Structure 1
Amino acid sequence: MSDLAGWIERTFGATPNDISLYERALSHSSLAGESYERLEFLGDRVLGVSIADWLYETFPNDPEGALSKRFNALVTGPVCAKIAREIGAPEHLRLGKQARDDGAGDSDNVLGDIIESLLGALYLDHGLEPARVAVRRLWADRIHAGEKAPQHPKSALQEWAAANNRKTPAYEIVDRSGPGHAPRFTVKAAIPKLAEATAEGGSKQEAETAAAKALLAEVTALVPAKRKRGKAA
């Protein structure tokens, strides 16, 4: 058994029938030939249905909104990238020289995609049930993290704006830099006529989330202070 086949079996609990699927799942677009992108598209859906089914079973009393919050917290790019590092995926990643020199092997974007592409390969090789079992094993320490469903910063900011009769938060990309496999986005989040905040991230979504978190901290400190001054007067 090859080193890759042994790693796949230890990590996902299934012996590869078609090792080429997993080789493709670990191949970046900087290499000639097929890359992981199509498998990542498929694996994203495999991960989604696996997590959704698991949450539905595990939290029978949660309403749809709470389940959605839990789901969104579990499938983010940074979470997927962290799991990729935990299982040793970077050691098996196949990169072109330029991409390797540019640090793609430690990019959250790339490593997050790799987890999904590997799940896509596992699905094609063995079917949905082994893929679902693998997801439950890899995400086992995260499914019960916190008794209360986490609130996504963008949702929390939008709810704050509505509760305080403010306009809906707006997001704008103000800068994009870096190579294609490891971009950096700077996003401005703003509540018109009140406050704004900027933040960076490895994806548009990550930067928006960070900007929303920063803006929420700012406005929750700002608005109560204004009200207190008004009462004192």
Structure 2
Amino acid sequence: MARGKPDLAALEGRVGHEFTDRDLLRWALTHVSAAPRRPDSYERLEFLGDRVLGLAVAHMIYESYPAESEGELSRRLAALVRKETCAEVAELWGVGPYMRLGEGEAQTGGRKKRAILGDICEAIIGAVFLDGGTAAAERVVRAAFGPKMREAGRNLRDAKTALQEWAQARRLAPPRYRLVARSGPDHAPSFELAVEIEGFEGATGAGSSKRAAEQAAAAAFMAREGVEE
């Protein structure tokens, strides 16, 4: 191991997959700011990993909750595959020291940004799928997301709905969502939105779609204000 470079074997151990092709793992850890060309960043693996994650989690909750309706399963799925949960998993894996960021992104705290952490989690899952196939990816997902599924009180409602109900219960005007920034190419955009409720400080969230960013903003607002989901 070269001095100053973290050992990928330790990360593989926490993820639960030993890569045959470690370049896939390095690719999954490369932010666009550190890539010589955009296709060399993790974005394509993130695209793949998002779909692999959705299928693996759907299979897991389908088996775990045989008496639940489609609507209940859908709420569990949405709670588990959202960016916030993916970011939590990336933090548990300890991906921070391994992330390949451009100098500017690194200096502005990129290793702790929830949106980037969530993206890298999905990219790693995509890399595992390419390296080891469906069974390997499902093992990784079940090991990482199974405990999240079993957490007591895990939110089964989407954050926007929960925040709107909270505001209505207090006779407040409905939450307003405002686009703060948009970046990235048309095929892989990134959005930052703010949620505002009169009388409260706003909160922001980021995501690969406006809807995802709204959910992240609503979740951030509730976490700060101590709102029960």
d(CA) in 1 for partners of 2:94, 2:54: 22
d(CA) in 2 for partners of 1:197, 1:48: 34
Counterpart among 13, 27, 38 of residue 10 in structure 1:
13
Instruction: Label 1:6 to 1:70 Cα distance change in 2 as closer, same or farther (>3 A).
Output: same
Number of aligned residues: 207
Residue deviations 1:139-163 (CA, integer Å, cap 9, x gap): 23211223787222333567899xx
**Paired residue type of 1:16:** F
Q: Which residue of 2 aligns with 1:28?
A: 31
Instruction: Label 1:144 to 1:127 Cα distance change in 2 as closer, same or farther (>3 A).
Output: same
Q: Which moved more, 1:41-50 or 1:140-149?
A: 140-149
User: Where do 5+ consecutive residues of structure 1 fail to align?
Assistant: 162-168, 190-194, 218-233
d(CA) in 2 for partners of 1:176, 1:196: 23
Within 5 Å, give how 1:198-209 maps onto structure 2.
Answer: 199-203=202-206, 204-205=213-214, 206-209=216-219
CA RMSD across the alignment: 3.6
Q: Which residue of 2 aligns with 1:143?
A: 149
d(CA) in 1 for partners of 2:154, 2:30: 38
TM-score using structure 2 length: 0.75
Counterpart among 161, 170, 173 of residue 178 in structure 2:
173
Q: Which residue of 1 aligns with 2:45?
A: 39
Deviation at 1:173, TM superposition (A): 0.7
Instruction: Label 1:152 to 1:20 Cα distance change in 2 as closer, same or farther (>3 A).
Output: same
Q: Residues 176 and 195 of structure 2 are in contact (CA less than 8 Å); yes or no, is this contact kept in structure 1?
A: yes
| Fraction of identical pairs, as percent | 34
Within 5 Å, give how 1:1-233 maps onto structure 2.
Answer: 4-31=7-34, 32-33=36-37, 34-146=40-152, 150-156=156-162, 171-173=176-178, 175-176=180-181, 185-188=193-196, 199-203=202-206, 204-205=213-214, 206-209=216-219
**Paired residue type of 2:95:** A
**Paired residue type of 2:109:** G
d(CA) in 2 for partners of 1:107, 1:148: 22
Instruction: Label 1:81 to 1:210 Cα distance change in 2 as closer, same or farther (>3 A).
Output: closer
**Paired residue type of 1:30:** S
Structure with the greater alpha carbon radius of gyration: 1
